[in-house]
Amino acid sequence: MTDVPDHRDRILDTAAEQVRRFGEAKTNVVDIAKAMGLSHSAIYRHFRSKAEIFDALAARTMAEEAELAARFVASDGAAAERLCGLVLALHRSKRAKLGDDPEIHGLYRRIMTERPDLVADYARRMTGLVRQVLEDGVARGEFRIPDLDVAAGVVADAVTVFVHPAHVEQAALAGLDMEPRLQAVVDVLVAGLAAACQAEA
């Protein structure tokens, strides 16, 4: 018998394909069930509504982004380089989704507006990952940070414009290349985090 997590993933995969083909507004539980060769009641055993399926799709995207960021936390190398790499990777991931998967990007963007609880949880996870990179930078002697929680929050706030799907979309529509600006922001952040260490050297 197929286990529940795998069945939920199959439903989400099918729902994503239906959204890509027909758009979010024209996708419903019956369509998803038909595409899977199931009755719609089988879908309702795992999700109570279409809205819950779409929320789960957004949550899965957020989890994938957290996994992407976590690779930089776990990697070797200077903390400053890993911090920059983490933010650039997230920005490029959002740009790629906008260009390659616009229907899913649109669904993700809408849900980020309508589900502040999901966004708050996502922000906590991502800020926590940034904090780990900063903490490692302190341990390596790269940074001198009196309050890691405050510093991680400052970094997260400073780069939000480069990773929020709405801002990424607006910049793309305006034809703006945001990577040089992103690099400049991270350079300023890193310089500030390292300044005390350099003064003591």
Q: For residue 101, what are its two tokens?
A: 């998967």
DSSP 179-191: HHHHHHHHHHHHH
Whether residue 74 is found in the same domain as residue 16: no
143 and 193 housed in the same domain? yes
Answer yes or no: do 25 and 83 share one domain.
no
Percent residues over pLDDT 70 in the chain:
95
CB under 8 Å, gap of 24 or more: what pairs does 60-66 form?
60/12, 61/97, 61/104, 61/108, 62/118, 62/121, 62/122, 62/125, 65/90, 65/93, 65/122, 65/126, 66/122, 66/125, 66/126, 66/129
Task: Give pLDDT, residue 197.
Answer: 62
Which CATH number is 18's domain given?
1.10.10.60
Verify that 68 and 159 share a domain, yes or no.
yes
Give 109-141 pLDDT, tens digit per residue.
Answer: 888 888 899 989 999 999 999 999 999 999 999
Count how many domains the chain has: 2
Q: Is the pLDDT of residue 108 over 50?
A: yes
Q: Are residues 18 and 93 in the same domain?
A: no
Instruction: Let me know whether 85 and 101 are in one domain.
Output: yes
> Is 163 a residue whose pLDDT tops 60?
yes
Which burial class, exposed, middle or buried, applies to 60 when counting CB atoms under 10 A from its CB (0-12, 13-18, 19+)? middle
pLDDT of 10 higher than 70: yes
Q: 128 and 34: one domain?
A: no
How many other CB atoms sit within 10 Å of the CB of residue 108? Answer: 23
- pTM metric for this prediction: 0.88
Both 8 and 87 in one domain: the answer is no
Please identify, among 9, 25, 48, the residue that sits at the C-terminal boundary of a domain: 48
The pLDDT of residue 148: 96
Angle at 33 between CA 27 and CA 35, to 5 degrees: 80
Q: Residue 106 maps to which CATH number?
A: 1.10.357.10
* Same structural domain, 39 and 87: no
Choice among 60-64, 112-116, 174-178 with the minimum mean pLDDT = 112-116
Residue 161, pLDDT score: 94
- What are the pLDDT digits (tens) for 18-42? 999 999 899 999 999 999 998 889 9
Q: Are residue 29 and residue 62 in the same domain, yes or no?
A: no
- Reference 39, options 30, 47, 48; nearest CA is 30
Amino acid identity of residue 68, one-letter, is L
Residue 160 C-alpha from the chain's centroid: 11
Domain match, 24 and 90 both: no
Q: Which domain holds residue 12?
A: 1-48
Q: Is the model's pLDDT at 188 over the cut of 50? A: yes
- Same domain? 44 vs 116: no
What does the alpha-carbon distance between residue 165 and residue 131 come to, in Å, rounded to a whole number? Answer: 22
Is the CA virtual torsion 97, 101, 107, 110 positive or negative? positive
Q: What is the mean pLDDT of the chain?
A: 91
